[in-house]
Amino acid sequence: MSEHATSSRKFYVGIGMSLLVLTSVTVFAAFVNLGPFNPVVALLIATIKATLVVLFFMHVKGASEKLTAAVLVSGFFFLAILLSLALADYLTRAWR
Amino acid sequence: MADSHATTLEPEAHNPALLHHFADAQQQKNAASLGMWLFLVTEIMFFGGMFCAYLVYRLAHFNAFAAASQQLSIKLGAFNTAVLLVSSLTVVLAVKAAEAGNRKQLVTYLVITVLLGLTFLVVKGFEYAEKFERHHVPGPTFSFTDTFDDGSQKIPVNPNEAQLYFSLYFAMTGMHALHMIIGCGLFTVLAVFAWKGHYSPGYFTPIENAGLYWHLVDIIWIYLFPLLYLISRHR
């Protein structure tokens, strides 16, 4: 982490407000019939929220240590392997 | 080597938090931060296993999962999401206060964080109590009679499949709640230490790392809320 990792209080409150707004949007979107895109929209909003938290609250953006980002990306990389290989199996079974 | 560092080590030697095997405070901080991030990655994989199980069973038994999901209260879920997001904000403001060396503000934000965490847990407790009352807790007394409404007709669902949903619901929210309880304990201890003046602008790594933990727990809930509460709500 860098020596001056933190931003202004106003900025943090702004990020917090955006997260609350996105929460209302996701609840609202759940009641609109988008067919197969309902879970896609829900997960997309969740990912935007998670990205805001990681970049600004966990200070990954602006961190002097590139290693932090590398560790984080490797974590999501292995999670992607877990999910994609598991689904590659279950979604292609003939008996389903 | 020792000679070249002698001048830089001298002022650091006054910081009691600097351990002797680190060259300076920044290196110590980077090492602690890296260790915390590695731990967070193991946490991502730990919850990832449960998310994977959820994904597979949701795809296999969508109707039952949707019918069971609709038994949850969106109001309580959304309220808890907001509570957690605000607590993440207070944590990051606590880190900022620690960096600025503002002890009073730091303690205040830590206490607010603990109170928000406890609010989340109390609401979760009421949700769990409702599950017990309605026999939605997996086990011999489990019963589920609701149907899945696909817009044109009511389709009866297999109670065993609904039980699968509630098993995952309790496993995932229960594990998440356990992390919240640990986090509340952590911040209570940190608030006491902060009150005693253990942290300075030169050393507040525990606040920062506990903050990283709290944000990760928040992120897990950010995914749990739409996945568990918001399946097929439109009709």
Residues A70 and A54 in one domain: no
Residues A73 and A53 in one domain: no
Q: What is the pLDDT along chain B (235 residues), one digit of tens a residue?
A: 444 444 454 554 567 788 888 888 888 888 999 999 999 999 999 999 999 999 999 999 999 999 999 999 999 999 999 999 999 999 999 999 999 999 999 999 999 999 999 999 999 999 999 999 999 999 999 999 888 887 788 889 999 999 999 999 999 999 999 999 999 999 999 999 999 999 999 899 999 999 999 999 999 999 999 999 998 887 6
Distance from the Cα of B143 to chain A's closest Cα (Å) equals: 26
Residues A17 and A37 in one domain: yes
Distance from the Cα of B82 to chain A's closest Cα (Å) equals: 6
Residues A59 and A81 in one domain: no
Residues A70 and A55 in one domain: no
Q: Which amino acid does the sequence have at A30?
A: A
Would you call B149 helix, strand, or coil by DSSP?
A: strand
ipTM of predicted complex? 0.90
Residues A26 and A53 in one domain: yes
B127 token code pair: 């949700």
Residues A38 and A74 in one domain: no
Report which secondary-structure segment, H or E, holds B154: strand B154-156
Domain containing A15 equals 1-64
Domains, in order of start, for chain B: 24-229 (1.20.120.80)
The total of structural domains in chain A comes to 2
Residues A49 and A7 in one domain: yes
Degrees to nearest 5, angle at CA B180 with B178 and B185: 100
Give Dmax (Cα) for chain B: 82
Residues A41 and A80 in one domain: no
Out of A3, A23, A39, the one facing B82 most closely (by C-beta) is: A23
Nearest CA in chain A to B31: A1
- Contact state of B85 with A9 under an 8 Å Cβ cutoff: no
Of A20, A7, A10, give the one whose Cα is nearest residue A60.
Answer: A7
Residues A57 and A71 in one domain: no
